[in-house]
Amino acid sequence: PGVELCIGRAEYPPDDRRVMIALTPVVNDAVATVGELGEEGLRVRAAGDVIRTMVRMLAAGVVTVDVQPLMSRDTGEVVFIDMTEARVLSSPPTFLDLANAGNFVAEMLGLIPESLSEVASTVLLEELKEVQARGETIDQEVYGILIGNTNIIKGEALRLIESHCDL
């Protein structure tokens, strides 16, 4: 959830160097920032989707740069498109991996207005607990990157992240 899926491809008749692809889900009447969503409930939904997608990607050991969200004006659902820059993190992560992870986290959290930081922290806490419950792990150094974003991450979520770091 939260990331586009390619469901098919076909030749592009006018140009044999290109192909057409079909992606799902389709987001009609989309915007690119949480602030462009009209109602508070839609902004809350979008902020939650951003956090959930970020945590699930980090737990999968995948980051990307040049984050490109589509946010539905009708539902607040967020879908991230164009994962051509996505990378799987090494284990343990290299210096470049950590730099990419830092950029990814900054871009994702940068989508959320500070006015929704409490919502973001609540969803972050829930998602991190889900990661633990599923037996998945996020690298300790990646947790350290999250700590550097206290403008959005606060309270119990921050304490949980700190507990995973050698401080």
Mean per-residue pLDDT of the chain: 89
Q: For residue 166, what pLDDT is reported?
A: 61
Q: 26 pLDDT exceeds 90?
A: no
pLDDT digits (tens, 9 = 90+) for 92-112: 999 999 999 999 999 999 999
d(CA 102, CA 166): 18
Q: Find out whether 78 and 1 touch, Cβ atoms under 8 Å.
A: no
Which candidate, 84, 94, 114, 98, places its Cα nearest to that of 21? 84
What is the pTM assigned to this prediction? Answer: 0.85
If pLDDT is split at 50, 70 and 90, which confidence band does 130 have?
very high
Phi-psi region at 48: left, alpha or beta (left = phi > 0; alpha = psi -120 to 50): alpha
Q: Find out whether 6 and 26 touch, Cβ atoms under 8 Å.
A: no
If pLDDT is split at 50, 70 and 90, which confidence band does 7 have?
confident
Q: For residue 82, what pLDDT is reported?
A: 85
If pLDDT is split at 50, 70 and 90, which confidence band does 1 have?
low
**What are the structural domains, with CATH classification, of the chain?**
29-163 (1.10.510)
Q: For residue 160, what pLDDT is reported?
A: 85
pLDDT digits (tens, 9 = 90+) for 50-98: 999 999 999 999 999 999 999 999 999 999 988 889 999 999 999 999 9
Q: 167 pLDDT exceeds 50?
A: no
d(CA 1, CA 45): 14
